[in-house]
Chains A and B, each alone.
Chain A
Amino acid sequence: MTGDPLADAVDGADPTVYESGGGAVTALADVEFAVERGEVVAVVGPSGSGKSTMLNLLGLLDDPTEGRVELHGSPVAGRSARERTDVRRETIGFVFQDFHLIPTLSAVENVRLPTAFRPVDRTDRAVDLLERVGLGDRLDHTPDELSGGQKQRVAIARSLINEPDVLLADEPTGNLDRDTGVAVLEEVRDIAAGGVGVVAVTHDDLVREYADRTVELVDGVLDDA
Chain B
Amino acid sequence: MRDRLARVGARLGRRFPAASLAARNLSRQRLRAGLAALGIVIGVFAVVSLGMLGTALQTAATDELGGLGNQVIVSPAAETDAETLNGRDLRAVERAAAGRGTVVPLKSAGATASAGDGQTVAQVYGTTNPRALFGDAPGVPDYHRQGAIVGADVAGALDLRVGSTVTVESNDYRVVAVLPEQSSISPLRADSAVVLPPGEFAASGYSQVVVQADSGGDADAVASEVRDRLNARERRVSVFSLTSVLDRISEFFALLNGFLLAVAGVSLVVAGVSIFNVMLMTVSERRGEIGVLRAVGIHRDQVLRTLLVEATLLGVVGGALGAVLGAVAVVAVALNTDLPLAAVLVPTNALVALGSFAFGVTVALVGGLYPAYRAAWEPPVESLRG
SS of B interface (majority) = helix
Partner of A117, one of B28, B294, B299: B299
Binds B, one of A88-96, A189-197, A201-209, A215-223: A88-96
For B297, the chain A residues whose CB sits under 8 A away are 85-86, 88-90, 114, 162
Nearest chain B CB to A79 CB, angstrom units? 14
For B14, the chain A residues whose CB sits under 8 A away are 116, 121, 123
Partner of A81, one of B24, B25, B292, B300: B300
Q: Are B299 and A88 in contact (CB under 8 A)?
A: no
Cα A115 to Cα B16 with chains together (Å): 12
Q: Is A2 an interface residue (CB 8 A)?
A: no
Contact residues, B284-343 vs A (CB, 8 A): 288-289, 291-300, 302
List, sorted by A's number, 15 A–B pairs whose CB atoms are closer than 8 Å.
A61-B379, A61-B380, A85-B297, A85-B298, A88-B296, A94-B296, A100-B288, A100-B384, A102-B289, A102-B292, A116-B14, A116-B17, A116-B21, A117-B302, A158-B296
Interface residues, chain B, CB within 8 Å of chain A? 14, 17-18, 21, 24-25, 27-28, 288-289, 291-300, 302, 379-381, 384
Cα A162 to Cα B297 with chains together (Å): 10
Name B299's closest neighbour in chain A (CB-CB): A85
Contact residues, A11-66 vs B (CB, 8 A): 56, 59, 61-62
Contact residues, A137-194 vs B (CB, 8 A): 158-159, 162
For B296, the chain A residues whose CB sits under 8 A away are 88-89, 94, 113-114, 158-159
Q: Are B28 and A104 in contact (CB under 8 A)?
A: yes
Q: Is A105 an interface residue (CB 8 A)?
A: yes
Name A162's closest neighbour in chain B (CB-CB): B297
Cα A82 to Cα B384 with chains together (Å): 18
Partner of B293, one of A62, A104, A113: A113
Cα A104 to Cα B302 with chains together (Å): 18
Cα A113 to Cα B17 with chains together (Å): 9
Interface contact tally, CB-CB below 8 A: 66
Cα A144 to Cα B27 with chains together (Å): 15
Q: Is A134 an interface residue (CB 8 A)?
A: no
The 9 tightest CB contacts between A and B, nearest first, are A89-B297, A104-B24, A114-B296, A116-B17, A100-B292, A88-B297, A117-B302, A61-B381, A114-B297
Q: Are A100 and B289 in contact (CB under 8 A)?
A: yes
Q: Are A94 and B295 in contact (CB under 8 A)?
A: yes
For B291, the chain A residues whose CB sits under 8 A away are 100
Q: Is A136 an interface residue (CB 8 A)?
A: no
For A158, the chain B residues whose CB sits under 8 A away are 296
Name B300's closest neighbour in chain A (CB-CB): A81
Q: Is A73 an interface residue (CB 8 A)?
A: no
For A90, the chain B residues whose CB sits under 8 A away are 297
For A116, the chain B residues whose CB sits under 8 A away are 14, 17, 21, 298
Residue with the highest number of chain A CB atoms closer than 10 Å, among B295, B299, B380: B295
Cα A75 to Cα B380 with chains together (Å): 20
Name B14's closest neighbour in chain A (CB-CB): A121
Q: Is A103 an interface residue (CB 8 A)?
A: yes
Given A117-B302, A121-B14, are A56 and B381 neighbors across the interface (CB < 8 Å)? Answer: yes
Name B13's closest neighbour in chain A (CB-CB): A109
Cα A109 to Cα B125 with chains together (Å): 85
Name A161's closest neighbour in chain B (CB-CB): B296
Cα A105 to Cα B292 with chains together (Å): 14
Known: A100-B384, A103-B28, A114-B298. 6 other contacts (CB 8 A): A81-B300, A85-B294, A85-B297, A102-B292, A116-B298, A117-B18
Q: Are B27 and A104 in contact (CB under 8 A)?
A: yes
